[in-house]
């Protein structure tokens, strides 16, 4: 029997960094949803948004989730918006264990300041307005994120902590 662990959360919450560490720790395959979509289309996320549009990108996220094999052990770092469109959150909860990495708007803003240009939704937001954007957007998204099986404080999170949450044991 296999298991999929989905890491979900806002842009900049550290899903990919934690995902890699977690996968290494429990010997699961690691896959980054955005990276897989980029490879499939041979385009970057900003290129997909600008040439094909956001709605098309969202359909790719849903297809990606649909094609995952729940019999394979894997950790998936999802895109920040993925849980919030269509039936994606429901699908992920059906297929595996969802873990929401929860961070404060201030922590997220600090992390996102330097990484705005690879993220089309925030590229044009002036640095001083980023926190306001997050404070407005995060509660909308938490309606979906809060449906996760596990919720974990994302600042300084350790992969061992996720292991104990998901598998119910301390390492």
Residue ranges in contact with ligand S3P by CB under 6 A: 11, 34, 45, 79-81, 119-121
Q: How far is the CB of 1 from ligand S3P (least distance, A)?
A: 29
Residues paired with 29 in a beta bridge: 74
Report the SS3 class of residue 26.
helix
Query: Toward ligand S3P, which CB reaches closer, 1 or 19?
Result: 19
Cβ at position 11, least distance to ligand S3P in Å: 4
Closest separation in Å from C-beta 9 to ligand S3P: 7
DSSP state for residue 8 in the 8-state scheme = E
CB 133: neighbour CB atoms within 10 A? Answer: 17
Cβ-based nearer residue to ligand S3P, 15 or 96: 15
Q: Which is nearer to ligand S3P, 50 or 164 (CB)?
A: 50
Query: Please, which residue, 34 or 142, has the CB nearer to ligand S3P?
Result: 34
Q: How far is the CB of 170 from ligand S3P (least distance, A)?
A: 29
The whole-angstrom separation of Cα 155 and Cα 112 is 14
Complex with ligand S3P: residue 130 or 167, whichever CB lies closer: 130
- CA–CA distance, 107 with 155 (Å, rounded to integer): 8
CB of 128 to ligand S3P, least distance (A): 20
Dump the DSSP string for 114-159: GG-TT-TTTTTS-GGGHHHHHHHHHHHHHHHHTTSSEEEE-TT--H
Query: Could you identify the residue written with the tokens 């995952």?
Result: 68
């Amino acid at each position: 029997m296999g298991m999929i662990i989905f890491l979900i959360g806002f842009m900049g919450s550290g899903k990919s960094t934690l995902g890699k560490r977690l996968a290494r720790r429990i010997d699961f395959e690691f896959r980054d949803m955005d990276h897989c979509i980029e490879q499939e289309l041979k385009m970057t996320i900003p290129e997909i948004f600008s040439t094909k549009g956001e709605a098309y990108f969202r359909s790719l996220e849903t297809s990606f989730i649909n094609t995952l094999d729940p019999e394979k052990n894997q950790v998936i770092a999802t895109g920040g918006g993925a849980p919030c469109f269509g039936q994606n959150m429901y699908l992920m909860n059906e297929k595996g264990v969802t873990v929401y990495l929860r961070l404060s708007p201030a922590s997220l803003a600090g992390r996102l300041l330097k990484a705005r240009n690879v993220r089309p939704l925030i590229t044009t937001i002036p640095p001083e307005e980023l926190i306001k954007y997050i404070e407005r957007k995060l509660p909308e998204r938490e309606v979906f994120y809060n449906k996760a099986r596990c919720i974990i404080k994302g600042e300084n999170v350790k992969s061992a902590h996720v292991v104990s949450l998901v598998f119910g044991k301390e390492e």
